[in-house]
Amino acid sequence: MATAVASGRRGRKRRAVSSTRTGNDDEHLPQQQHDGDVQQQQRVDVHVDVDSSQQPMIQAKLPAYLSHAFAELYEEDGLVVLGRGLGTLSLLATFVRFYADPSPDGHAALVREETGTSTSSGGRDPSSASDPLTPPLVFVLGLKDSERKALISTLVDWGTPPELLPTEVTNESGQGKDRETMYRRGGVFLITSRILIVDLLTQIANPRDIEGILVAHAEHVTEQSTDAFILRIYRSQKRMLSGGSGASSTVSTGTAGIPDATDAVARTSSLSPSAHGFVKAFTDNPDALMAGFARVDKILKSIHVRRLYLYPRFHDVVASELERCPPYVDELHQQLTPAMKEIQNAIAAAVQVCIRELKKSTTLIEWSTSDLTLENCVTTNFDMAISRQLEHDWHKLSPQTKQLVNDLRTLRTLFQYLIQYDCISFYKLITNIKTASYGARNPSMWILDASGDIIFRKARERIYKITRPKPTPRVPNPLSRLKPILEENPKWRLLSQVLTEIRNDWPERRNARLKREETSGGARILIMVKDERTLDSVRAYLIEGKERIMTLRWVRYLEQINDRSRAVAKNAGGSSAISEESRLLLEEEGRARNFLFGPEADRSENAGAKRRQPVFVPEWKRKKRRIATEKGRGERTMQADDLQRRAVLDEALEETEQDLVEGSYTVATIDQGDNESSSDTYSDEEDELPYKVGSLDELRIIIRSYSSIEGEKANLMLDEIKPDYCVLYDAEPAFVRSLEMYASKRFAGLSLPPGENRSNISKHDRLRVFFMLFEASSEEKNFLKALEREKNSFARLIQHKKSMPVPLNIVETTTQEMQLAMGGAGGSYAGGTLPLSMDTRTGRGKQTADKQRREIAVDVREFRSALPSILHQGGMRLAPATLTVGDFVLSNVHCVERKSISDLFGSFASGRLYTQAEAMSKHYKCPILLIEFDPGKSFCLQSGSEIGADIRTDAVCSKMSLLSLHFPKLRILWSRSPHETLKMFKALKVDHDEPDINKAIEIGSNESLDALLGMDTTQGDEEEEENEINEAARDMLLRLPGVTVQNARQIMNSCDSIADVAEMSREDLKRLIGPLSGQKLFSFLRQSNK
Greater confidence, 745 or 364? Answer: 745
Does residue 600 have a pLDDT over 80?
no
Longest Cα pair distance anywhere in the chain, in angstroms?
A: 121
User: Does the pLDDT value for residue 658 go beyond 70?
Assistant: no
Q: Crossing angle, helix 399-420 and helix 778-803, to 10 degrees?
A: 110
Pair type for strands 307-311 and 78-82: parallel
For the ranges 145-154, 402-411, 705-714, 892-901, which has the lowest average pLDDT? Answer: 705-714
Q: Are 1069 and 1082 in contact (CB under 8 A)?
A: yes
| Tens digit of each residue's pLDDT (9 = 90 or more) over 246-292 | 333 333 333 333 233 333 333 333 334 445 689 999 999 999 898 87
Please give the full DSSP string across 954-1012, using - where no structure is assigned. Answer: TSHHHHHHHHHHH-TT-EEEEESSHHHHHHHHHHHTTT-PPP-HHHHHHTTTS--HHHH
Question: Is the pLDDT confidence value at 605 over 80?
Answer: no
Note the pLDDT of residue 611: 40
**Predicted pLDDT of residue 655:** 61
Q: What is the pLDDT of residue 906?
A: 86
pLDDT in tens, 500-550: 999 998 888 888 777 665 655 678 999 999 989 899 999 999 998 888 899
Q: Which of 10-19, 112-121, 280-289, 400-409 reaches the highest mean pLDDT?
A: 280-289
Q: Give the mean model confidence (pLDDT) for residues 1012-1041.
A: 58
pLDDT at 241: 75
**Phi and psi based region of residue 715 (left: phi greater than 0; alpha: psi -120 to 50; beta: remaining):** alpha
Share above pLDDT 70 across residues of the chain, in percent, rounded to a whole number: 68
When pLDDT is averaged across residues 649-677 and rounded to a whole number, the result is 45
Across the chain, mean pLDDT equals 75
Dihedral sign for Cα atoms in the order 670, 676, 678, 683? positive
Under the banding of pLDDT at 50, 70 and 90, the label for residue 615 is very low
First to last CA, the chain: 102
Backbone φ and ψ of 403, nearest 5°: -65, -35
Per-residue pLDDT reduced to its tens digit, 828-853: 333 444 444 444 554 444 444 456 77
Lowest mean pLDDT among 306-320, 653-667, 800-814, 954-968: 653-667
Residue 997, C-beta contacts closer than 8 angstroms, at least 6 positions apart = 855, 857, 879, 881, 889
Lowest mean pLDDT among 100-114, 238-252, 267-281, 313-327: 238-252
pLDDT at 696: 44
Q: Which is more confidently placed, 759 or 472?
A: 472
Q: Which helix (H) or strand (E) holds 197?
A: helix 193-201
The confidence score (pLDDT) of residue 688 equals: 39
* Comparison of pLDDT for 818 and 584, the residue scoring more: 584
Is residue 447 within 8 Å of 460, Cβ to Cβ? no
Q: Residues 788-808: pLDDT tens digits?
A: 989 999 999 999 998 887 554
In this prediction, residues 377-406 reach a mean pLDDT of: 77
926 with 972: CB under 8 angstroms?
no
CB 502 within 8 A of CB 330: no
Give SS3 for 896: strand
pLDDT exceeds 70 at position 998: yes
Residue 627: band (very low, low, confident or very high) from pLDDT cuts 50, 70, 90: low
Residue with the bigger pLDDT between 723 and 1029: it is 723
Q: Dihedral (C-alpha) 617, 620, 624, 625: value to the nearest 10 degrees?
A: 10
pLDDT confidence of residue 981: 92
pLDDT at residue 703 in the model: 93
pLDDT computed for residue 495 by the predictor: 94
Give pLDDT, residue 541.
92
User: Which residues does 125 contact at the CB level (< 8 Å), separation at least 6?
Assistant: none
Rounded-to-integer distance, Cα 735 and Cα 767, Å? 14
What residues have CB less than 8 Å from 633, skipping those under 6 apart?
643, 901, 902, 905, 906, 909
Residue 334's contacts (CB-CB under 8 Å, 6 or more residues apart) are 11, 490, 491, 494, 772, 773, 774, 775
Q: Count CB-CB contacts under 10 A for residue 146.
A: 14
Ordered alpha helix ranges (H), 722-856: 733-748, 778-803, 816-822
**Helix/strand/coil for 371:** coil
Smallest CA-to-CA distance from 455 within 569, 341, 298 is with 341
Closest to 558 measured CA to CA, from 606, 512, 526, 590? 590
By three-state DSSP, how is residue 809 classified? Answer: coil
Which pLDDT score, from 0 to 100, does residue 596 have? Answer: 80
pLDDT tens-place string over residues 121-130: 444 443 333 3
Report CA-CA distances (Å) from 319 to 310, 322, 509, 740.
14, 5, 27, 10
Name, of 5-19, 288-302, 377-391, 850-864, the range with top average pLDDT.
288-302
pTM, entire model = 0.75
- pLDDT higher at 454 or 713: 454
Segment of 378-382, 448-452, 665-669 carrying the highest mean pLDDT: 448-452
DSSP class of residue 87 equals -
Does 1008 have pLDDT greater than 70?
no
Res. 393: pLDDT tops 70: yes
The string of pLDDT tens digits covering residues 213-248 is: 999 999 999 888 999 999 999 988 888 776 543 333
Q: What is the DSSP string of 1010-1061?
A: HHHTT---S---HHHHHH---HHHHHHHHTSTT--HHHHHHHHHH-SSHHHH
Which residues, 6+ apart, have CB-to-CB distance to 520 below 8 Å?
510, 513, 514
Separation CA 1010–CA 244 (nearest Å):
52
- On whether the CB atoms of residues 999 and 895 are closer than 8 A, the answer is no
pLDDT at residue number 751:
52
Element (H, E) at 598: none
**pLDDT score, position 173:** 74
- The pLDDT value given to residue 362: 82
| 639-643 mean pLDDT | 51
d(CA 669, CA 608): 11
CA distances to 479, 480, 576, 620, 790 from 476, in Å: 10, 12, 20, 52, 66
Above 90 in pLDDT, residue 460? yes
More confident residue, 759 or 795: 795
